[in-house]
Amino acid sequence: MINFSSDLILWYKENERSLPWRLTKDPYRIWVSEIILQQTRVDQGLMYYKRFLQHFPSVKHLAEASEDEVLMCWQGLGYYSRARNMHFSAKYIVNELKGVFPENYESLLNLKGVGTYTAAAISSICYNEHRTVVDGNVFRVLTRLFGIETPINTGNGKKEIKELAHSLNTGEQNGIFNQALMEFGALQCKPKQVDCLSCVFKDSCFAYINNRVDILPKKEKKNIVKNRYLNFFYIKDGNNDVLIKRREKKDIWKGLFEFPMIETNKHCESSELMLSQEFVQFLNGGETVVKGIKEITHLLTHRKLFIRIMELKVDKHNNIDDYLQVNNKELVNYAFPKPLQAYIEEIK
Ligand code: SF4
């Protein structure tokens, strides 16, 4: 494919989606977009990108914000370590680099949460460094075009595609080449229902010519999803106050708030949980009335969460270290994980 890079860029100029981060080379804005898009679809990320920049229009604004403000802005997007890392890095840029954003691949890698992929994306888009970015779209496009059978979730598969992608990038328009290749995968060479007949590369595409479009790319089977059972207690006292606490441990949802919670290693009856020592510590005598039970299944990349939220009415809570007593109307001012946030919205 002699003119691959120029044909691809030509296709991109005619077909690219109009997205706000494509109208700028400001590294702060590109960084925000790249971090948001790490685990998020473009249509969902777009809203968060605009909102984030409204709240924090510059790295200085982000550095000066509190962690709660940053997490509130990120609420619902998931993978909250991304927001915490950005906040940490913004403070590093302002305090250690005098507010000057890192200007090359190597120094971008010093930012917390920025790995080789994101550093390559920012340095190629903002500084035209000869770095090639490889995501799931690129894997799909190149395995099909060049008939690569190596599973893409293996070390060899990744290496092969990265080297091939880099060799196809002439080094002249690095940012555009990277975005064009990913956009081609997102819009034209899609995972399913591929419209090969309208493709500019159909005459030379290995998969199309050899009828292997539905087979490539190949993946090795891996199954490492772990089940977790989280039992939350929404305990409302006579003043409509509930107990909440910030999650501090190195675990999912670090830094967000939650209700009192007991984690079990299997499904347990609610009555059994309410007799446990862990639960009794939250009560201060008197009657406990169960008002409702909500069951939710929530999927994360490597976890399946079986969430149960029990709504309870008591006369009085116990005062417990680490827990805040917050009026139920004030809960909207705290950042909760997505399933708990949805619950709060539902019962308000
Ligand atoms: S011909 Fe089909 S499989 Fe090949 S690159 Fe084009 S869209 Fe992808």
Closest of 62, 30, 33 to residue 46, by C-alpha: 33
Query: For residue 200, which atom of ligand 1 is closest to its CA?
Result: 6
Looking at residue 164, its pLDDT comes to 97
Find residue 242's DSSP bridge partners: 236, 326
Query: For residue 202, which atom of ligand 1 is closest to its CA?
Result: 1
Q: Find the 144 Cα to ligand 1 centroid distance in Å.
A: 7
What does the alpha-carbon distance between residue 147 and residue 141 come to, in Å, rounded to a whole number? 10
- 311 assigned to active site: no
Q: Is 0.85 surpassed by the pTM of this model?
A: no
What digits encode the pLDDT tens for the residues 183-231? 999 999 999 989 999 999 999 999 999 999 999 999 998 767 899 999 9
Find residue 317's DSSP bridge partners: 283
Say if residues 327 and 240 touch (Cβ distance below 8 Å). yes
What digits encode the pLDDT tens for the residues 30-50? 999 999 999 889 999 999 999
Which residues in the chain are classed under CATH 1.10.340.30?
4-209
Confidence of residue 72 (pLDDT cuts 50, 70, 90): very high
Residues with CB under 6 A from ligand 1: 141, 144-145, 188-189, 194, 196, 199, 201-202, 205, 207-208, 213
Options 3.90.79.10, 3.60.21.10, 3.30.1600.10, 3.40.920.10; CATH of 226-347: 3.90.79.10
Looking at residue 2, its pLDDT comes to 64
What digits encode the pLDDT tens for the residues 246-305? 999 889 999 999 999 999 999 988 888 888 888 888 887 778 888 899 999 999 888 999
Specify the residue with its C-alpha closest to ligand 1, atom 2: 196
Mean pLDDT of all residues belonging to the chain? 94
Q: Find the 145 Cα to ligand 1 centroid distance in Å.
A: 7
The burial class, CB within 10 Å (0-12 / 13-18 / 19+), for 295 is exposed
What digits encode the pLDDT tens for the residues 110-126? 999 999 999 999 999 99
Specify the residue with its C-alpha closest to ligand 1, atom 4: 205
Please say if the pLDDT value at position 102 is more than 70: yes
Calculate what percentage of the chain has a pLDDT beyond 70: 99
- Following DSSP, what letter does each residue of 292-337 receive, concatenated? EEEEEEEE-SSEEEEEEEEEEE-S-B---TT-EEEEGGGGGGS---
> Quick one: average pLDDT of 161-178?
96
40 versus 144: which is more confidently predicted? 144
Q: Find the 85 Cα to ligand 1 centroid distance in Å.
A: 37
Confidence of residue 70 (pLDDT cuts 50, 70, 90): very high
CA 73 to chain centre: 14
Which residues in the chain are classed under CATH 3.90.79.10?
226-347
Closest of 72, 111, 113, 94 to residue 255, by C-alpha: 72
Contacts of 138 (CB under 8 A, 6+ apart): 161, 165, 181, 182, 185
List helix spans (H) across 170-265: 174-187, 206-209
Confidence of residue 321 (pLDDT cuts 50, 70, 90): confident
* SS3 state at 279: helix
What does the alpha-carbon distance between residue 109 and residue 122 come to, in Å, rounded to a whole number? 11
Dihedral (Cα; 122, 127, 128, 132), 10-degree rounding: -30
Among 34, 129, 183, 311, which one carries the catalytic annotation?
34
For domain 4-209, which architecture applies? Answer: Orthogonal Bundle (1.10)
